[in-house]
A and B are shown apart, each in its own frame.
Chain A
Amino acid sequence: MELLLIDMPRLVQQVIFNSILLVTALLFSIKAKEIYRNIKMGKAEDRSDQPQQRLKNMTLLALGQKKMFRNMIPAVFHLCIYVAFLVTQIELIEIILDGMTGIHRIFWPMLGGFYTFIISFIELLSVFALVATIVFLSRRNLLKVPRFQMDEMSGWPKLDGNIILYVELFLVFCIFTMNTADMVLHNGEYGFLVSGMLMPLFSGFSEGTLHFLERFGWWGHIVAVFAFLIYIPFSKHLHIVLAFPNAYFGALDGGANKGEMANMPRITEEIKLMMDPSLPMPEEDPNAAPARFGAKDVEDLSWKSLLDAYTCTECGRCTDACPANQTGKLLSPRKIMMATRDRLEEKGREVAKNGPEHDDGKALIHDYISAEEVKACTTCNACVEECPVSINPVNIILELRRYLILEEANSPEEWNLMFGNVETNGAVWKLPASDRMKWIDEMNE
């Protein structure tokens, strides 16, 4: 399609461009709306307090990539791609404006020398991004860094990771093709740094070829950008958007209270009533469906856990740090996030098609995440600590555990014994309360 477009008159190009822009915006917004609706399926949880602290967290963790630097080598290369991505938006805006208006390099006459500086800077960053992309492809495919080779990464997740990197290569390739051809066509008038150095590569080409290459680069770049935009909401790459809200709504205290589990107020009411029967019965809506204890499926999780699932970019730092995973257990926190997202996407389609009441006979627990995985967690919070984008897999694991115990009585026999001891003796072991102070006599013997 691009080849055909290249020699078309400007007006035709303009019409085609605006049509593609419109279709892209439409497709992106349809999927974005679907994701928003899916996240809203989760249980309400107020995370709007302390907006200033939240903004600070977002600035440090998402914008500043603070936690990435726990792991220096990938952090530096990731930063190259990230900064290039951010700054290249300037050139992208120009390309979009050019496409909409049919003007060639709309910013050039306005900015002059400053334009040369900006585009040269972008070119330089693109070189860094190119190097980083090649490093990342090597880490995934040649060096085979272990966290990219685990079970949950086979098939689509592996392909997804590579597609993103190949598209990045293509984007950089197009930018340099476009700029270099344009530089040769204009006798280096723009003064761009990197494409200026590449000019000898194109020096023998006819004006027609150069014009073709310039258009090829321009269309190639923008079509790839639009295709990428449509692709991102289906991909793990969505983290480039959702890392920001996820850091904003993440744990507030810099993670210092990771040990706190969310309370279940319904149970508090029941126990208070047991302890003091004179208390008034809580008012209940007789029409309300009995709420589930813990999480059987995605809609039983907090909306933040669902946002977590969409934010996960499958880097595997969590699984790498997980003691259960390191010792060969089935549990992988990354897989917990991936399974939650897969089930949420499926459930979202199901609800859109058949309404929220329809039961498709599947659930997050057992069909997507096994009881064995859930039970293997030591709640050590290493996964939470490692996540650069404030995802908390432990919250999901613990809600699933609550469901297993409270709704299915699906508990290892040893835990049942411990429960029994706590209930009857007030201690985790089968020892009488009168033994609680034996140590005092021992000490004073």
Chain B
Amino acid sequence: MSDNKIKVPLMSEVAANGGEVEVLFWVGCAGSFDDRARKITKAFVKLLNHAGVTFAILGEEEVCTGDPARRAGNEFLFQMQALTNIETLNMYGVKKIVTACPHCFNTLKNEYPVLGGDYEVIHHTQFLQGLLEEGRLTVEGGDFKGKKISFHDSCYLGRANGIYEAPRKLLQALDVELVEMKRCKSRGLCCGAGGAQMFKEEEEGTLRVNQERTKDILETAPDFVAAACPFCMTMLTDGVKEKDKQEEIRVRDIAELIAEAEDL
């Protein structure tokens, strides 16, 4: 464990000091508030720090991107959030944003430009893969070497934005045995959280969507399920737990796996 405290500067401080950072880290609501997702945030920040990336966060100036409001149909609320965020981001002259949430990623990348917010938006798996390729981050398997790992594609990363390879390349760098579930990549099954479903009970049916996805997981029976989305994380963790398999099959974000392998 590193003994030194990691400094996480605020964008407002950076701007006040006339400094510049390589990238703005968009933490997101889940990454800020959710107990489980906060662990992902911490792991990712440790990796940024380890790789010597200069970054800042908006802190209290960050508000929800508006994705769940928009998907639920509340366009007013979405645009209020979006225009507020764009005002903040443009005020700081932000050019590059990284986020560990595919929903924030999709909204910032695809839906803010038409409202006046044009940024280079990168998902944390792409960013980490970039660091790996540039040699700023070295990844060794550590405890994960040879472990059976399945990657669960997030809908907003995969189908919505065509990102299938970056997360898999990171896992391969960990020297794991990557085993695909029967439904993967463009055929990947949703975890059930998207489209604002995270924030309400599902409609009446025979199963919950995460229970259906858990069947795929149990069938493949990996040592780890790698996720790249805080909402998938919640859904898959719940699904595996419900089947009492949380000891055999652990659900982790890719950033957590790498940070753990690096002993950070």
Contacts and interface: CB of A to CB of B under 8 A. Distances in A.
A385 B29 contact: no
Nearest to B59: A437
Contact of A435 (B32, B106, B209): B32
Given A378-B194, A384-B159, A275 B83 contact: yes
Given A414-B200, A422-B77, A380 B33 contact: no
Contact of B29 (A419, A428, A440): A428
A376 B202 CA distance: 7
Interface stretch (A150-158, A210-218, A400-408): A400-408
A444 B5 contact: yes
B68 A411 contact: no
B33 A435 contact: yes
Residue of B62, B72, B80 ringed by the most chain A CB atoms within 10 A: B72
A443 to B, nearest CB: 4
B41 interface: yes
Interface string A361-385: 0000000000010011111111011
A271 B80 contact: yes
B110 A260 contact: yes
A268 B78 CA distance: 10
A406 B73 contact: yes
A398 B73 contact: yes
Interface residues of B, number: 74
B194 A380 contact: yes
Contact of B72 (A330, A372, A418): A418
A437 B60 contact: yes
Given A272-B83, A328-B207, A422-B64, A259 B160 contact: yes
Given A257-B161, A329-B203, A427-B63, A378 B209 contact: yes
B201 interface: yes
A295 to B, nearest CB: 11
Contacts of B46: 443
A40 interface: no
B44 to A, nearest CB: 11
A267 B200 contact: no
A209 to B, nearest CB: 56
B72 A428 contact: no
Given A429-B29, A444-B5, A379 B194 contact: yes
A255 B159 CA distance: 8
Contacts of A429: 29, 33-34
A404 B114 CA distance: 24
Given A256-B162, A260-B110, A323-B190, A329 B205 contact: yes
A401 to B, nearest CB: 3
Contacts of B31: 439
A437 B32 contact: yes
Interface string B156-190: 10011110000000000000000000000011011
Nearest to A373: B203
Nearest to A394: B195
A419 B186 contact: no
Contacts of B34: 429
Interface of B: 5-6, 8, 27, 29-34, 38, 41-42, 45-46, 57, 59-60, 62-64, 66, 68-77, 79-81, 83-84, 87, 106, 110-111, 114-115, 155-156, 159-162, 186-187, 189-190, 192-209, 211-213
Q: Which 8 A-B pairs have the closest CB atoms?
A: A426-B63, A259-B160, A328-B206, A379-B195, A328-B205, A401-B73, A405-B73, A380-B190
Interface of A: 70, 254-261, 263-264, 267-268, 270-272, 274-275, 293-294, 321, 323-324, 326-331, 372, 375-382, 384-385, 398, 401-406, 411-412, 414-415, 417-419, 422-423, 426-429, 431, 433-440, 442-444
Given A378-B192, A382-B189, 11 more contacts: A260-B106, A261-B71, A264-B79, A272-B83, A378-B195, A379-B195, A381-B160, A402-B73, A418-B196, A422-B68, A436-B62
